[in-house]
Structure 1
Amino acid sequence: MEQGAFAFRYTEALPYLLLDSIGWQSTDSPYYGNNGHTRTDNGHVIFQYTLSGEGRLELDGQTYRLTPGKAFIVKIPSDHRYYYPVETGEPWEFIWLNAKGEDAFRMWDRIIEHGGEVIALRDRSLSLSSFWDMYKAVSEEKLSDCAELSVMLYRFMLSLFTPDAGLNTQAENSSIVEKAKHYIKENLTTPVTLEDIAAYCGVSGAYLCRLFQRNKLSSPLEYLRRRRIEAAVTMLRTTEMSAQDIGKQCGFESPSYFSKIFKAYLGFSPREYRVQRVNYPFDTIYLD
């Protein structure tokens, strides 16, 4: 097969999922790049995978190196920019496709939730095999029927949920979440901001929040508050410290704020919990 780019303009388009364009190309142009807010083809989703060389993706305040084996998936419009970094000195070779239709955004959201916007794919993954089947059908067999192409596109998109898609990125994301949880555990008694946690993990605050959501967790700061309330419950039952001192010890800036947050989670104030030992005999309470 040879490099090329192919686009489709259907006269009777299916409403669900359509292949808008597909390609295989190389570039070393300093002008190559796209901004997710300035493109005119709104309503599309993009998949792009590096074969050789290197590209860059800016997303949520992070810059990702798109080295061989890395793919990114984004939506148009959205807050992202991808481009060729001329300092690498080597052409960036990649494959890509654009899709549109009712199912395009819906499936992209699920794929991003499953593995993130940047994923690692094995050379012989089902995803790449599905892509090359589609590229061959278009470039060599001249397939242009929207229904047949939609079937192949669904197969490709569903393949991104398989176990061999995005394993490296998922493991990396889990490691970042665990690092954040460790930092929170070690800093329950000190003032902590989202920026502090994110900086410790080496990511942006927005990206860290999204990782927590993908791992079925609350936000980092909500996770911090819950751990602080858990610590406060234990101290109320196992020490003679005043509720005010316990709140301060657990990182709450003022007694009134401590009481407000405690009551929001448990339904009564710290002092009320301390005296209701018969009805609530628990020295430890875990908050999901």
Structure 2
Amino acid sequence: MTLARTGEIIPREKVNLDKKYPIYIADTIGVSSPYQKLHWHDVLEINYIKSGSGYYIINGKRFEFRQGDILLINSNDLHCAYEVKDLVIMVIEFDMSWFVSSLRYDPEILSPYKDMGSHFTNLLDRTSPHIGELRTLLLEMQQEHEQARPSYISLVYSHLLRFLSCVNRYFRLEDARQCSSANVSSLQLEKMRQVIHAMEEKLSHPWTLEELAAIVYLSPSRFSDIFRRAVGTSPLEYLIQLRLEHALMLLEQTQMKIMDVAMECGFRSLSNFNHLFKKHIGQSPKHARMRQHHTPTLQK
């Protein structure tokens, strides 16, 4: 948990999983706007890149990935993903409590997450002779999950258990210096989460760099440096991204006038809103609304 200056608690993103079967497995095509925003959640995550390429920013570090890569994302990792080309990712999210009984027999089963940053890295070594075994386990796990045949829960659990065991055995880096050193400390990450939360809560507020820095009691220059290392962009550029993503949602899901959308999202000038929207989204606000209203509903 993160404590804000006003005393409220900023929680991790809550992922609701079935208590009897606490795992989510699905393919995602591209990267939707919510995952381009920095977020953290209360589950452990595995990503298998089925095709295409892109990059993650995880705790201020950039990880370029391509087809065949496997990434582990911890429950306290501040992260976001970006697509470069033709991206399809198998996303697996699971509750660590599912392995409580296994920890009695193998207390190191969750080491790939527990020792992340000291003996493991988020992006597993793609040159390892054992990477193929991990890919096969993930594909078999997904097949069992989707087909849901008798005893599929046990088989999904056993595949995940074997996956974690193989990562722990074959991908552990005994020399901690082989792990990328953190660009940002855990305390600094908590401060950046606090600022991001404030941005999201008051998107229309005319934030200045000085105001954002004051939330976490840092000088503007120091704050800007830490934020850029943690997020990969400047605070005000990130604020623009948040505003534009919210604007796109309003254009797609409401009948608000474009001027009202601009004002609601913190843009004081319609011309500036139109310019930034086209620059970042790739089309004008008017075209985004027209396209949404003329897109036929896909039938399952």
- TM-score scaled by length of structure 1: 0.39
TM-score by length of 2: 0.37
